[in-house]
Amino acid sequence: MAFRFEELKVWHFALRLCNEIDILVKTFPREELYSLCSQMKRAADSVVLNIAEGSTGQSIPEFKRFLGIGLRSAVEVVSCLFIAQTRKYINDNDFKKYYDEYEVLCKMITKLRGSM
């Protein structure tokens, strides 16, 4: 593996989730394409991208800063899940599945930050 982020379990977990969110938002109404769909996809992608960017061999404080940005983006996805559930774009099972997955992801990011 050429890049440090490729070795991080948290990056792989976030990558899988961002791809699942991409599939999920394609089921939302068309009028949400440029609002909730876009926001949710960008937030999910941001988690993956910030983990990768922060791992580029910069200082530990800088990596922690990027992990913090990724963590906030993960929480943003959770907030989007609440909006989607409230608007009846996702059912309770999908909401719980992704809520639980993002809770695990947030814990993984927090644990990685704390281990530095």
Nearest to 84 by CA among 71, 93, 95, 70: 95
Q: Any idea of the CA torsion for 85, 91, 94, 100, to the nearest 10 degrees?
A: 50
Query: What pLDDT tens digit does each residue of the chain (116 aa) get?
Result: 688 899 999 999 999 999 999 999 999 999 998 899 999 999 999 999 999 999 987 799 999 999 999 999 999 999 999 999 999 999 999 999 999 999 999 999 999 999 98
Centroid of chain to Cα 66: 13
Class at the top of the CATH hierarchy for domain 4-111: mainly alpha
> Can you give the length of the chain in residues?
116
Radius of gyration over every alpha carbon of the chain, rounded to an integer in angstroms: 14
- H/E stretch holding 60: helix 60-86
